[in-house]
Amino acid sequence: MKNTILIVEDEESIRDILSYSLKREGYIVIEASTGEKGIKMVEDNNVDLVILDLMLPGMSGYEVCKKITSKYKISIIMLTAKNDIVDKVLGLELGADDYITKPFDIREVIARVKVCLRRMEELKKFQMEDDKQGNSNNVIVLRNNIKIYEESREVFKEENNVKLKPKEYELLYLLAKNRNMVFSREKLLDKIWGFDFFGDSRTVDVHIQRIRKKLGETAENSIIQTVFGVGYKMQ
């Protein structure tokens, strides 16, 4: 089946070049000029990936990203004219998978789209293998009364549902499945964001901090331990 890509961009010329190039690659492309229309498109279509401009009129791209990731497991690539790392990190915190700074080379956009979609396919295959092996209902029990439900991708602490963004969940899950193994920040970037991700190690630190905060933990008393000079691990 062909993947469906939604472009949410208010500049028609940019939408046109993205749409034309993605269709040439064999993707189904739908478009929206505002955040509100973009959210409606997600609700009405089986969207696999969203290319989302952050500087939209009305509802901002940040708000659109937050609304989509709170309800759907869809890859999001941000488009931004800003080159400030704070803007990029904020988008990643809200659940985006990658970012591209304008002006961009369309070949780079195509490459990143392929990476995001490939990662989603690999994740689906991994979950299907778990189902075949009878692991779909597994519950990972961690200390501090924390449980990870693999089938629903939910996390609970003392029976309270902890709302994690997709990347936060994947980080926690990876560490939980590989307890006592130390992961460098670079390895975590590779595993969670993909080898071709162009971010830096601060992205990992920000996500770890947010996981700890949502679990009601501090760096000194957390199931995720910092291995200074290296990265992170879970006991």
The answer to whether the predicted template modeling score (pTM) of the entire model surpasses 0.85 is no
Q: Tell me how far CA of residue 57 lies from CA of 37, 147, 227, in angstroms.
A: 12, 41, 43
Question: What pLDDT score does 21 carry?
Answer: 96
Residue 99 has pLDDT above 70, yes or no: yes
Percent of the chain exceeding pLDDT 90 equals: 46
CATH 3.40.50.300 holds for 4-125: no
Half-sphere exposure of 45 (CA within 13 A, CB side): 21
Residue 12 has pLDDT above 90, yes or no: yes
Main-chain phi, psi angles of 211, to 5 degrees: -60, -50
Domain 137-234 in this protein, CATH class: mainly alpha
Q: Identify the band that residue 225 occupies on the pLDDT scale cut at 50, 70 and 90.
A: very high
Q: Which residue has the higher pLDDT, 203 or 68?
A: 68
Q: Which residue has the higher pLDDT, 72 or 125?
A: 72
Question: What pLDDT score does 197 carry?
Answer: 56
Question: What pLDDT score does 125 carry?
Answer: 63
For residue 103, say if its preceding peptide bond is cis, omega within 30 degrees of 0: yes
User: d(Cα 204, Cα 186) in Å, to the nearest integer?
Assistant: 9
**Mean pLDDT in residue range 180-185:** 92
**Mean pLDDT in residue range 141-169:** 87
State the span(s) of the chain assigned CATH 1.10.10.10: 137-234
**Helices marked H in 25-137 — which ranges?**
35-44, 61-71, 85-93, 106-132
